Amino acid sequence: MKPAILMLLLCLPVPNGVAAETMYVQAQKAGVLAEAKSGAAAVTELARGASVSVLEKNGLWYKVQVENKQGFISRLFLSPNKPVGAAELAKANDVSLEKANRRRSSSFAATASTRGLQADERVRQGREMYQADFRALQKVEKYEIPADRLQLFRKQAGLE
Amino acid sequence: MNTLPRFFALLLAAALIGPACSTTPDPAEKDAMERERLAREVDDELLVGREIASRLLGRFQHYEKNRAAIEYVNLVGATLAAQNGRPELRYRFAILDSDDPNAFACPGGFIFVTKGLLKLVKNESELAGVLGHEIAHVNEKHMYSTIVPKREVSTSETFVRLLSRGKSEIGSNLAQIVDNGMKMLMESGYGKEKEHASDQAAALYTKSSGYDPMALLPVLERLKEASKSSKLSKTHPPFDERTASFQAFLKENDLKSTLSASRQQVMEARFLAVLKKEAL
C-alpha cells in the first residue's frame, strides 16, 4: 500500500468495536427472566423506557443485559424506539398527530358528506366494496374512559 | 501529480472528512429527529386505520344500545393497552352490531368485537384474551406491514418530504391500501403464522396485565364450534391447529392461571352484571 493511502486510512476515525443493539421497554413494566419462558423467575423488573442491551435474539425471547444482570425478555415488550406517549408525540412535533387531527377534524364535515356520498356512488357502481361510516368512527374516537374510572376498575380486581 | 502534493491533498481530505464522520449528533437532537420520524409513521398508520375502521363500521353498524357493555369492553381493553400497548398509540375499542362471533383490529389501534363475540365469552379473562389477540395484530403491524410495505426512502424523497413538512407517503395509494385491508379482514385473513403469533402474544399480554393467560383456549374451542355456521373459518386458520399450537406454547412457557378466588369473584360479578346475554 502506498504510504499516502496508508496515512489517509490512519487519519480516518476507527469505530470503537461493534456495540450491542439497544432497545427500550415499551410495556408499563416487564420482567427480565432467568429463562426464555414466561413462567421463569424474574431476575429484575424494568419500567417503561428502560434500556437493555440485546445480546441474542431467539424468536419471541431476547437475551439481554441490564447493568450487570443478564436475562430474557419477550421481544413483544421491546422496541428500538424510545417510548413516546401519543400526547407527547403530538406536542413535540410540527408533523404532529394533533395537527393531523385538526386537519381531519376541520375537514370532517366535508369528508363525511362528500366522501360518504362518493363512497355510496362507488358502492353502487361496484367500485367500492364497503361503505364507510365516518360519523360512527367519530363517535368511537370521541369515547373516553376517565383515568380514575380505569384506575378503580384495575384496582378492584388487582390488575396491573 | 507529484507524490508529495498528492500526499498533502489526501492528508487535508482526511483532516476534513474524519471529524465530520466521527461527529455524533447531539442526543436531544437525535431524539427530536426520532420523534418526528415516529410521528410521521404513526400519522400514516392512523390515516389508513381510520379509513378501514370506518368501513368496518359501515359494514356491520356501530352497536350503541348497551352503554354499560361499551364501557366494560373499553375498560378491559384499556387495562391491557395501558400495560402492553404501543405508547405512541391511543387504542379505541368498540362493539359491532353483528351476531357472528368475531373481532377485528385496524392499524393505528382501532379494535372491534362483535355482539356475538361478547355472547360467546364466559368471563373477563376470556374477553381480555380476545382483546389481547387483537392488540397484538396492531402492535405487530400484521395488517399495516402487509398492505403498506416498508420501502427504502431515497435522499431526494426525504428532502421532498421535509419540504412538504412530512406529508403522508400513502398519498394516492390510499384507496387501494384500504381495499386490501378490508379484503384481509373479510376474506383472506392474516395467515396462520400471524394468528398463532397473536394468540401467543395474547397469553403474555393477559398474564402481564393480571388476567388468566390460558383464557383464550376455551374461546378458541367455542369459536371452532361457532365457525361451522359463520364466516370465521374463511379468515382464520383451522381451529384444531390453532388450539394445538396455543396449548404447546402455554406448556413451553409454564403459563398457568394464577388468579386468586377473590379476584376471580370480583371479575365474575362485574362480568355478569354487564354482559348478560339478554342485555345485548
pLDDT tens digits, B140-196: 999 999 999 776 555 555 555 555 544 556 777 898 999 999 999 999 999 999 999
Residue B105 touches partner A, C-beta closer than 8 Å: no
Residue B14 touches partner A, C-beta closer than 8 Å: yes
Residue B30 lies in a domain: no
Rounded CA gap, A110 and A113, in Å?
5
pLDDT greater than 60 at residue A138: yes
Q: What pLDDT sits at residue B4?
A: 54
- Spatial CB neighbours of A61, under 8 Å, sequence gap ≥ 6: A36, A37, A72, A73, A74, A75
The alpha carbon of residue A139 is apart from the nearest alpha carbon of chain B, in Å, by 9
Specify the 3-state DSSP secondary structure of A29: strand
A34 interaction partners in chain B (CB closer than 8 Å)? none
Tally the domains of chain B.
Answer: 1
| Cross-chain Cβ contact A8/B10 below 8 Å | yes
Range of the domain at B70: 37-279
Q: How far is CA A51 from the centre of its chain?
A: 14
What are the CA-CA distances from residue A94 to residues B33, B136, B167, B171, B213 (Å)? Answer: 11, 29, 11, 19, 41
- Spatial CB neighbours of B72, under 8 Å, sequence gap ≥ 6: B270, B271, B274, B275
The alpha carbon of residue A68 is apart from the nearest alpha carbon of chain B, in Å, by 24
- Angle, alpha carbons B107-B110-B113 (nearest 5°): 125
pLDDT-above-90 percentage for chain A: 57
On the CB side of B266, CA atoms within 13 Å amount to 13
**b/e code B179-193 from CB counts within 10 Å (16+ = b):** bbbbebbbeebbeee
Q: What pLDDT sits at residue B52?
A: 97
| Cross-chain Cβ contact A132/B15 below 8 Å | no
Q: Are B274 and B69 in contact (CB under 8 A)?
A: yes
Rounded CA gap, A128 and A119, in Å?
7
Cell numbers that stand for A128 in this block: 367500492
DSSP assigned state of A46: E
Residue B202 lies in a domain: yes
Tens digit of pLDDT at every position of chain B (280 positions): 455 566 566 555 555 555 555 556 788 888 888 888 898 899 999 999 999 999 999 999 999 999 999 999 999 999 999 999 999 999 999 999 999 999 999 999 999 999 999 999 999 999 999 999 999 999 999 999 999 977 655 555 555 555 554 455 677 789 899 999 999 999 999 999 999 999 999 999 999 999 999 999 999 999 998 887 766 667 777 899 999 999 999 999 999 998 999 999 999 999 999 987 667 8
Residue B27 lies in a domain: no
Instruction: Please state the length of chain A.
Output: 160
- A vs B: CB pairs below 8 A: 196
Nearest CA in chain B to A153: B75
Residue B60 lies in a domain: yes
Specify the 3-state DSSP secondary structure of A73: strand
The reported pTM is: 0.82
Residue B203 touches partner A, C-beta closer than 8 Å: yes
Sheet containing B110-114: give its strands across.
B92-96, B110-114, B103-106
Rounded CA gap, B209 and B93, in Å?
17
**CATH 2.30.30.40 describes domain A21-79:** yes
On the CB side of B29, CA atoms within 13 Å amount to 4
Residue of A9, A33, A133, A139 to mutate, testing the B interface (most B Cβ within 10 Å of its Cβ) = A133
A11 interaction partners in chain B (CB closer than 8 Å)? 11, 14-15, 18
Specify the 3-state DSSP secondary structure of B88: coil
Q: A-contacting residues of B 48-87, CB under 8 Å?
A: 50-51, 53-59, 61-62, 64, 70-71, 74-75, 78-79, 82-84, 86-87
Q: How far is CA A112 from the centre of its chain?
A: 30
DSSP assigned state of B26: P
Q: B-contacting residues of A 47-106, CB under 8 Å?
A: 48, 60, 74, 76-77, 79, 81-86, 89-90, 92-97, 100, 104
Residue B2 lies in a domain: no
Residue B10 lies in a domain: no
DSSP assigned state of B62: B
Rounded CA gap, A102 and A79, in Å?
29
Rounded CA gap, B177 and B10, in Å?
51
Of B47, B53, B213, the CB nearest to A137: B53
| Cross-chain Cβ contact A133/B6 below 8 Å | no
